[in-house]
Structure 1
Amino acid sequence: MIVLIVAQVVGTVGVGVAPSIGVLMAGEVTQNEAWAGLARTASTLGAALLGLPLGNLAARFGRRAALTTGWWIAAAGSAVLVVAAQRSQAVPMFVGLLLIGAGSAVSLQSRFAATDLAEPRHKARSLALIVWVGTVGSVLGPNLGVPGQVVGDRVGLNVYAGAFLIAAVFLALAGLVVVAWLRPDPLLVLRGEAATAQVPVSQAHAPDGARRPGRIRVVLAELRVNPGARLALVAILTAQVVMVSIMTMTPVHMVHQGGSIAVVGLTISLHVLGMYALSPVVGHLVDRPGARAAVLVGVAVLLVSLVIGAVRAHDTGWIVVSLVLLGVGWSFVNVAGSALFAAVVSDRTRASSQGGVDALANLCGATAAFAAGPLLALAGFSMLSLCAIAVLVPLTVLALRSASSFVSGPGRREGSGS
Structure 2
Amino acid sequence: MTSTASASTSGISPQPEAQRRILAVLVTSQILSGAGLAAGITVGALLAQDMLGSTDLAGLPSALFTTGSALAAVAVGRISQARGRRPGLAAGYLTGAIGSAGVIAAAVAGNPVLLLIALFVYGAGTATNLQARYAGADLAAPAHRARAVSTVLVATTLGGVVGPNLAAPTGTLAGTFGIPTLAGPFLLSGAAYALAALVLALWLRPDPLLLARSLDLQQRAAAATAKTAGNPEPTPAEERGPGLMLGALTMVLTQLVMVAIMTMTPVHLHEHGHGTAASGLVIAVHVGAMYLPSPLTGWLVDRYGRSAIAAASGLTLLAAGITAAAAPGDSVALLALALTLLGLGWNFGLVSSTAMITDAVPLATRAKTQGMVDVSIAIAGATGALASGVVVSAAGYPILTLTAGILSLAVLPAIAVTASSR
- Please indicate the TM-score interval, normalised by the length of the shorter structure: 0.7 to 0.9
Identity level (%): 36
2:322 equivalent among 279, 283, 307: 307
CA contact (8 A) 1:313 1:382 kept: no
Q: Is the 8 A contact 2:74 2:375 kept in 1?
A: yes
Shift of the alpha carbon at 1:403? 2.6
Q: Distance in 2 between matches of 1:368 and 1:167?
A: 23
User: What are the superposed Cα offsets for residues 359-379 of structure 1, whole Å, 9 maximum, x if unpaired?
Assistant: 111111101210111111111
CA deviation profile, 1:63-113 (whole Å, cap 9, x unmatched): 011011001000111111111122221112112211111111111111000
Report if the CA contact (8 A) 2:40-2:189 is conserved: no
**In the alignment, residue 162 of structure 1 is paired with which amino acid?**
G
Alignment of 1:329-368 (within 5 A): 329-368=345-384
Which of 106, 119, 131 is 1:109 aligned to? 131
Partner of 2:170: 148
Instruction: Indicate the residue corresponding to 1:371 in structure 2.
Output: 387
1:77 aligns with 2:93: no
Partner of 1:242: 257
Instruction: Identify the residue that residue 385 of structure 1 maps to in structure 2.
Output: 401
Aligned counterpart, 1:324? 340
Q: How many correspondences in the alignment?
A: 384
The normalised TM-score by structure 1 is: 0.87
Alpha-carbon contact 2:63-2:383 (below 8 Å) kept: yes
The offset of 1:169, in angstroms, is 1.2
Provide the residue aligned with 1:256 in structure 2: 271
| Match status 1:288 vs 2:311 | no
Aligned-CA RMSD value: 2.0
Q: Which deviates more, 385-394 or 8-17?
A: 385-394
Name the structure 2 match of 1:186.
208
Equivalent residues of 1:12, 1:141 under 8 A apart = yes
In the TM superposition, 1:191-270 aligns within 5 A as 191-198=213-220, 222=240, 226-270=241-285
| Structure 1 residues not aligned, in runs of 5+ | 201-218, 407-418
Cα distance between partner residues in 2 of 1:307 and 1:169 = 37
* CA positional deviation for 1:157: 2.6
Distance 1:34 1:378 in 2: 9
Secondary structure of 1:33's aligned partner? coil
Post-superposition offset of 1:227: 4.0
Kindly tell me: are residues 228 and 347 of structure 1, through their superposed partners in 2, closer, same or farther at Cα, counting changes over 3 Å? same
Cα pair 1:18 1:97 within 8 Å, conserved: no
Task: Tell me how far 1:404 sits from its aligned partner.
Answer: 8.8
Which amino acid letter does the alignment assign opposite residue 272 of structure 2? Q
Decide which moves more: 114-123 or 384-393: 384-393
Q: Provide the rounded CA distance (Å) in 2 between the counterparts of 1:162 and 1:109.
A: 26
Alpha-carbon separation, structure 2, partners of 1:297 and 1:199 = 41
Match of 2:29 among 7, 22, 35: 7
How far the C-alpha of 1:154 sits from its partner, in A, is 4.0
**1:42 equivalenced with 2:64 (yes/no):** yes
Following the alignment from structure 1 to structure 2, what is the Cα–Cα distance between the partners of residues 240 and 165?
Answer: 26
What amino acid is the match of 2:178? G
Structure 1 counterpart of 2:6: none
Which letter does structure 2 place at the counterpart of 1:284?
A: W
Secondary structure at the aligned position of 1:157 is classed as coil
Say if 1:24 and 1:352 are closer, same or farther in 2 by CA, change over 3 A: same
Verify the 8 A CA contact 1:15 1:100 in the aligned structure 2. Answer: no
Listed one character per residue, the Cα deviations across residues 23-57 of structure 1 (whole Å, up to 9, x for unaligned) are: 21111111123443323311111111211121011
Query: In 1, distance between residues paired with 2:171 and 2:41?
Result: 18
